[in-house]
Structure 1
Amino acid sequence: MGSPCGAVGVLRSAVSITAYLDYHHLGITTLKETGEESLFAPEGHDYDAYLASHDKPVKAINWNEIPDDKDLEVWDRLTGNFWLPEKVPVSNDIPTWNKLTGKEQETTMRVFTGLTLLDTIQGTVGAVSLLPDAKTLHEEAVYTNIAFMESVHAKSYSNIFMTLANTPQINDAFRWSEENENLQRKAKIILSYYDGDDPLKRKVASVLLESFLFYSGFYLPMYFSSHAKLTNTADIIRLIIRDESVHGYYIGYKYQVGLREQTPERQEELKAYTFDLLFELYDNEIQYTEDLYDELGWTEDVKRFLRYNANKALNNLGYEGLFPADDTKVSPAILSSLSPNADENHDFFSGSGSSYVIGRAEETTDEDWAF
């Protein structure tokens, strides 16, 4: 049975709407003219104090006046890169999926569920946590775009699951993601900084997630693609990698802009924090990688891939890479699989997957419709 208060609220709303329409019909445009302000006032909400304490005008975003051209550059890149997983024919991968061993299928499900978890964090918490510290409305707009695309990425993995796997496999993978200690640890480490009160540290954590932590998972579909397996699934991952590379680049750029405004002492503090956090995440990621890939025999090359991308993340933040070249020599087949073009690596200007097509609009004339 509904609460009496709820019934009164519904009745009040119905009466208010009816009365408002009646008054509006009579040409009465202000509540004071009716003498019934209380009828229309939202119950339990006093906005007068808010209005009194917020005397500055609320501004609309103006894309004709942009303080930082990088915001428009990245906005155009992100919107130009827009894609949806439904347009990639993952069902074409069913024959090669069925040829994978049970362990390969299980690892694929676990890898993608781990990536789903990180995308969920970045879409619902990470990118959103950067909004309060944005310097302009344009920067805010870019962060909201990033948040949306992270949610698209998270849904992409569900599209892959429901196309290739059965319900027990899906349920097992999500249960594993909640029980795996190293996956949960890295998620909570990142969340702890998103929940903190230091905007620059939030950006560091975000870049390390975007440009480093994802890549232990990205290795698997690139490996399979280089062996002509799950090639359309790999196209989705390439689209995700293309987005993540822009996200890491942009957030890293904003970190560097903010860093220049700090004192030398504060800059040193943030650099030390960045490397300390990287080491902590790296140690955890090594254990996570061993847990996932040891039985497949891929672990050592995945570790090299991790170090390669850890250096990329540091570069995005304006720092020199940490790991020497000999420790980051990834299999050439993996690097070439990162892009549809064998001579490209993933970066700010990478292209999209070869199986993703959006139709082009064309002007029509009356003759086009004369059947």
Structure 2
Amino acid sequence: MQKTLLERAKTLEPLHPNKSTGLFGGESSGILNWNDIAYPHWYKIYKRLIGNYWQADEVNMAGDVKQFSSLTKSEKDAYLKIIGLLSTLDGPQTRTALLLSLYATDASVQSIMAVIAQQEAVHNESYSYVLSSIVSLDEQNEAFQLGRKDPVLLKRNENLIKQYNDFVDDPSVENILKTLVYTSLLEGMFFYSGFAFFYNLARHNKMVGTSTMISYINRDELEHGRFIAELFRATLAENPEHNSEELITWVYDHFKESVELEIEWSTYVLEDVEGIDLDEMAGYIKYRANKMIRMMGLNDIYPEHVDNPMKWIRAYVDNFDGTKTDFFEQKSRQYTKTSDLNGFDDL
């Protein structure tokens, strides 16, 4: 099938209708009336996203500053490497969300992507804030160089980098769909071995400020993952010529390869960390992959990993594991600014 390159959506097209005729490659005026959009329930997603507002420097890091020096060498190394990993994911994600919005011909998608991009920018800022609280500038810079230099991390990110750059060079519907697949993997699986490391520290009363920050990031990513999966399904439904065996096979193959790379990375970075069972972690990664691919309308890849093997993580972040509970009806942890009451009991 011949690719058709998309043009960037016009800012205003008064002759076109306000309600878009297509998510990508459609027609719309550029005027957004949330009461007249093609996918009305996306307004709830928008409201959930803006309701999660928080700022990095309002999280109390005083306890972490005192505790970092008492961590084991393995814990310190993993801490810095994982911050390096997270920064290499959230930085490009800010730009990717904005690039997707440039080609979206649905104003509601543009607005939701703008909020996602802003939140990814906050996430990236939070890693700088966390590191500036506990280590020297040289150590901060070294952690942020990992995404460019660490061979295991470079291998882990290679497919993601290629797909994101392919979308920049070739903005077709096919590449939008494939970019949404990798965005879904990023939001719903790639972060999670890193999140688990910080939650493991917190359950041993270590680096609780960092864990609190991570839980806010995690909460945002759950929301992002939900929307990206819905956007993938809706885009595929609007472009049925792409709903082919070739694309579906590509999705399954790239999910499986991503899982193997994530397990390799997590083994490399967590193998000497006390309290993390690497077999359990591998199962957790497969469990997360199953959840994300189901949200995208496809079948489990790992039928033996439909249950969360690391249930203790649920204590640290909101989740939508309950299949019988509507995601939007679940109670979200409330963000609280720094005070003397902030601490482990708030998680």
TM over 0.5: yes
SS at match of 1:295: coil
The answer (yes or no) to whether the contact 1:235–1:354 under 8 Å persists in 2 is no
Per-residue Cα deviation, 1:293-340 (whole angstroms, up to 9, x for no partner): 112253323222211211121122112222234585423323323349
Residue 9 of structure 1 corresponds to none
The structure with higher relative contact order (CA 8 Å, sep 6+) is: 2
Q: Does 1:259 align with 2:230?
A: no
The answer (yes or no) to whether the contact 1:203–1:252 under 8 Å persists in 2 is yes
Residue 279 of structure 1 corresponds to 256
Q: Does 1:110 align with 2:81?
A: yes
Q: Does 1:307 align with 2:286?
A: yes
Gaps of 5+ in 2: 1-9, 17-28, 340-347
Compute the RMSD of aligned alpha carbons: 2.9
Residue 12 of structure 1 corresponds to none
Q: 1:148 to 1:69 in 2, by over 3 A?
A: same
Q: 1:154 to 1:321 in 2, by over 3 A?
A: same
Q: 1:265 to 1:84 in 2, by over 3 A?
A: closer
Per-residue Cα deviation, 1:243-276 (whole angstroms, up to 9, x for no partner): 1111110010011112223447734332211111
Q: How many residues align?
A: 302
Per-residue Cα deviation, 1:22-62 (whole angstroms, up to 9, x for no partner): xxxxxxxxxxxxxxxxxxxxxxxxxxxxx9xx895764323
Match of 1:224 among 201, 204, 207: 201
Q: Could you tell me the TM-score, scaled by structure 2's length?
A: 0.78
The answer (yes or no) to whether the contact 2:59–2:209 under 8 Å persists in 1 is yes
Match of 1:351 among 332, 336, 346: 332
Match of 1:212 among 174, 189, 204: 189
Per-residue Cα deviation, 1:99-158 (whole angstroms, up to 9, x for no partner): 21122112101101110110011112x212322442411111101111111011011011
Residue 267 of structure 2 corresponds to 290
Code of the residue aligned with 2:77 in structure 1: it is E
Code of the residue aligned with 1:311 in structure 2: it is N
Code of the residue aligned with 2:45 in structure 1: it is V
The answer (yes or no) to whether the contact 1:304–1:327 under 8 Å persists in 2 is no
Residue 65 of structure 1 corresponds to 36
Residue 203 of structure 1 corresponds to 180
Supply the distance in 1 between the matched residues of 2:108 and 2:306 (Cα, whole angstroms): 39
Residue 139 of structure 1 corresponds to 109
Gaps of 5+ in 1: 1-50, 359-371
Residue 189 of structure 1 corresponds to 159
Supply the distance in 2 between the matched residues of 1:265 and 1:211 (Cα, whole angstroms): 23
Q: Does 1:82 align with 2:53?
A: yes
Q: Could you tell me the TM-score, scaled by structure 1's length?
A: 0.73
Per-residue Cα deviation, 1:214-236 (whole angstroms, up to 9, x for no partner): 11211111111111111121111
Supply the distance in 2 between the matched residues of 1:151 and 1:130 (Cα, whole angstroms): 16
Supply the distance in 1 between the matched residues of 2:131 and 2:239 (Cα, whole angstroms): 46
The answer (yes or no) to whether the contact 2:283–2:309 under 8 Å persists in 1 is yes
Match of 1:244 among 203, 216, 221: 221
Supply the distance in 1 between the matched residues of 2:208 and 2:289 (Cα, whole angstroms): 26
Aligned-pair CA distance for 1:179: 1.4
Higher mean C-alpha displacement, 75-84 vs 91-100: 91-100
Residue 5 of structure 2 corresponds to none
Code of the residue aligned with 1:143 in structure 2: it is M
> Which structure is larger by alpha-carbon Rg, 1 or 2?
1
Structure number having the greater helix percentage: 1
Code of the residue aligned with 2:243 in structure 1: it is R
Match of 1:324 among 303, 308, 311: 303
Q: 1:237 to 1:267 in 2, by over 3 A?
A: same
Supply the distance in 2 between the matched residues of 1:265 and 1:72 (Cα, whole angstroms): 27
